[in-house]
Chain A
């Protein structure tokens, strides 16, 4: 699954550490998500999308 977390994070001027603390996950998880090494749970995916104020489809793309 592809994602645009890095793009949205840059748009919001956030570091990985900032986003991780906002979402209650480790920084390494944000890094793994951005590198597409890990697919988040539906709950985390919704939380990410909600945090950026967009729909889940705008952040994640199923291939």
Chain B
């Protein structure tokens, strides 16, 4: 398989994942998108082994390594701050920081918790998006630094 075909395949899989995500939401079947994500990653991994030309070498690995490390450094701080905030919101009531009214509503049954789970999922997705944006930004910075887009004289 040629390198460009491999990149094209990644694009097709990404589009298919978006469609499957939409389908998963429509059908209210979380297992569909979860299986699709794992399956998609597996297909990419297997396809990568079929590429004859080198897709990665020590320079690209260095770029990925540096970008990942910088992303992790920043994301650790963001994730810690957001997580601590979430913990305070989540346990604030049960730790009785705010006294509840004596005849307030009883703790909700499981179905009432589902929107909270959804919001938690959205928060995680937003954090993940932020992480991806940070990673792509750092990757572009280091790729430029290590001559990824240098003009060819040949």
Contacts and interface: CB of A to CB of B under 8 A. Distances in A.
Contacts of A25: 54, 57-59
Contact of A37 (B55, B147, B154): B147
Contacts of B113: none
A24 B59 contact: no
A31 B150 contact: yes
B152 A31 contact: yes
Contacts of B62: 38
A38 B56 CA distance: 15
Nearest to A28: B148
Contacts of A3: none
B145 interface: yes
Given A16-B154, A31-B152, A40 B58 contact: yes
B146 A32 contact: yes
Contact of A26 (B59, B150, B152, B154): B59
B146 A24 contact: no
A44 B58 CA distance: 9
Contacts of B150: 28, 31-32, 35, 37
A32 B5 CA distance: 24
Given A15-B154, A31-B152, A37 B145 contact: yes
A21 interface: yes
17 contacts: A16-B152, A25-B54, A25-B57, A25-B58, A25-B59, A28-B147, A28-B150, A29-B58, A29-B59, A31-B147, A31-B152, A32-B148, A35-B150, A37-B146, A37-B147, A41-B58, A43-B58
Interface of B: 53-60, 62, 145-148, 150, 152, 154
